[in-house]
Copies of this chain bind each other. A is one copy, B any other.
Amino acid sequence: MSIRFYNARILPMRENMDIMEGELWTDRERISYIGPERKESAVPFEREVDLHGNLILPGFKNAHTHSAMTFLRSYADDLPLLDWLQKQVFPMEAKLTGEDIYLFSKLAILEYLSSGITSCFDMYFHPEVMARLAVDTGFRTVLLSGLSNFNFSLEEMREAYQKFNAYHPLVSYQLGFHAEYTTSKELLEGIARMAQEFKAPVFTHNSETKGEVDGCMERYGMTPTALMDSLGMLDYGGGGYHCVYMSDADLDIFKKRGMTVVTNPGSNTKLASGVPRTAEILKKGIPMAIGTDGAASNNCLDMFREMFLVTGLAKLREEDASVVSAEEVLKMACVNGARCMGLKDADCLSEGKLADLFVLDLHQPNMQPVNSIVKNIVYSGSKQNVALTMVNGKILYERGKYFIGESPEEIYEKANRRMQELKK
């Protein structure tokens, strides 16, 4: 599969946010050419796409999600956090089978593709189901262990790590656990040993709420970040999801260990969890990436909404409209997400890199006039602007049509039918 995109604007996101005009070619799963207009090609193109000046950029990376949780979208909202989690989410999740997870995660993949998202960092049960789904649909998926006291063993995590990192080019697996408050010290120590053994980063929900941090202080006399570091768990980096309540010392550990803060502003807003110290985190030079979290809390899987919230909430928090620029936010959504997820070949657009990208339609009123394309994307962009999404060199979405092996209507019908049964 070799595709030529011409008459394009291209935002490669290598050293800067400069936009060039020209062409981008793909050859199987990789980018084979980026540069000025060029007509001769060694291989024949299977398709040539005139982009009419529209913009190619690296795909958004959804750096924290629970894909299967689409089944709880708008199922229980406008509720206090604990009621929501304990009375609504947990009992429903307990009913899910592997096939349910396949179905509802497929629904999430449709939504990712329509939002320009080309890969996700997915924490949920049944990683073997999600791995199969990634291959079936062509959607790049980084599986994350959500180990806790209530699910699987360290030995199973080790097996999954080895199995899914050798499974398929679209699939990888990272070490992690659900959260400090759901994971025993024994397990945490085991994870730390495994991180050392594999020289691997570790990821978890970290300091999402004040109550979570207070609980950890009571149990250990340390914050979750300090506890993990004290166990030697962060020697090879990793990341924290949410990171709303981080102390200066926590941030120093993140900086020292090369960790990424993965922010989830839509979820933190809707659940009233709080606003992270985004401006300070960036000033310290700690990389940030962006995740949608699951649809149960957000409720949509839309990187445009997240990007506006990352900068908007930081502006409100600091009472300063000048903090957290559009350029920084767009880099978080594309480049930093890839690096945090271990997708070093999907971070930017360059010859030899993976063809994980999307086309943004600039011929829409919300992208006009063209005073600044980058600012337009972050402050005014919308799913409406996503014209085409390509993963691993294959077009999986184009102008409302999906190419993932099953029609959206079939997926919706199955999802609604199954949801009726689950509600009983």
Interface residues of A (CB under 8 A from B): 70-75, 77-81, 84, 107-108, 110-111, 114, 266, 268-272, 274-275, 295, 298-302, 305, 308-309, 311-313, 315-316, 318-326, 363-366, 368-372, 375-376, 379-384, 408-409, 411-412, 415-416, 419
Contacts and interface: CB of A to CB of B under 8 A. Distances in A.
Given A271-B321, A305-B308, 14 more contacts: A70-B365, A70-B369, A74-B326, A78-B322, A78-B326, A114-B365, A269-B315, A272-B315, A295-B380, A299-B376, A299-B379, A300-B380, A305-B382, A363-B412
Per assembly, the copies of the chain total 2
A320 B272 contact: yes
State the majority secondary structure of interface residues on A.
Answer: helix
A270 B110 CA distance: 30
B419 A325 contact: no
For A322, A364, A369, which residue has the most chain B Cβ atoms within 10 angstroms? A369
9 contacts: A78-B325, A114-B384, A269-B312, A270-B315, A301-B366, A305-B305, A364-B408, A368-B412, A368-B415
Contacts of A319: 272, 274
Given A379-B299, A383-B383, A312 B74 contact: no
A-B pairs with the 4 shortest C-beta distances? A74-B375, A300-B380, A110-B365, A111-B365
A164 to B, nearest CB: 25
Contacts of A308: 266, 305
Nearest to A275: B316
Contacts of A311: 78, 270
